[in-house]
Amino acid sequence: MKKYPFTTNGFKQLKDELVQLKEKRKAVSKAIGEARELGDLKENAEYHAAKEEQRLNEERINLLERYHSQAEIIDTLKLKDDGAVVFGSFVEVVDLDNETTISFQIVGEYEANISKGLLSISSPIARAILRKEEGDIALVETPNGQKEYEVTKISLHPLNA
């Protein structure tokens, strides 16, 4: 059975979303009942919209329940800091082509959100820098060719804390 790695924070967010979706389930069911009372279901836009919302909500619940049941929670506060990039690390890298600095935390696929600085462990950059240490260069294959990133900071705690 496949395991899905989560930080403790990411797993908490998953559980919170699951609770919200299950609460929403009740409201959607009520909306379907109310729409059903409006008459002919073939031409009842409210009914079809509520059924579609129910379908999407149930799909999301099923997905999150699968993640929940197969979660592997990694408490990054209990990891030994040996100076290498691991799951949960907060990392700063420099793109050596344009000297751009990028900071992120390496997290599981479910909790990844690059706009929040959360990079999936399965991403090409994360895979390339795993087990690297500060000062190491990582080669990343991109559609436009290889890119080089230098690992400049690694921590098991947020870098700007």
Residue 11 domain-assigned? yes
Q: How many domains does the chain have?
A: 2
Range of the domain at 114: 76-155
Give the pLDDT score at 150: 97
Task: Indicate whether 26 and 44 sit together in one domain.
Answer: yes
Give the pLDDT score at 41: 64
pLDDT tens string 118-159: 999 999 999 999 999 999 999 998 888 899 999 999 998 887
Task: Indicate whether 83 and 29 sit together in one domain.
Answer: no
Task: Indicate whether 126 and 63 sit together in one domain.
Answer: no
Give the pLDDT score at 1: 78
Task: Indicate whether 93 and 117 sit together in one domain.
Answer: yes
- Select from 74, 108, 130 the last residue of a domain: 74
- Select from 59, 74, 89 the last residue of a domain: 74
Task: Indicate whether 104 and 120 sit together in one domain.
Answer: yes
pLDDT at 104 over 90: yes
Task: Indicate whether 11 and 66 sit together in one domain.
Answer: yes
Give the pLDDT score at 47: 81
Residue 160 domain-assigned? no
pLDDT at 61 over 80: yes
Give the pLDDT score at 63: 95
Task: Indicate whether 82 and 141 sit together in one domain.
Answer: yes
Task: Indicate whether 91 and 150 sit together in one domain.
Answer: yes
Task: Indicate whether 66 and 85 sit together in one domain.
Answer: no
The C-alpha atoms of residue 112 and residue 126 are separated, in whole angstroms, by: 11
pLDDT at 161 over 60: no
pLDDT tens string 30-53: 888 887 776 666 677 788 888 899
* CATH for 58: 1.10.287.180
- Select from 52, 74, 96 the last residue of a domain: 74
Give the pLDDT score at 50: 86
- Of the chain, the percentage scoring pLDDT greater than 90 comes to 71
* CATH for 141: 3.10.50.30
Task: Indicate whether 38 and 105 sit together in one domain.
Answer: no
Residue 161 domain-assigned? no
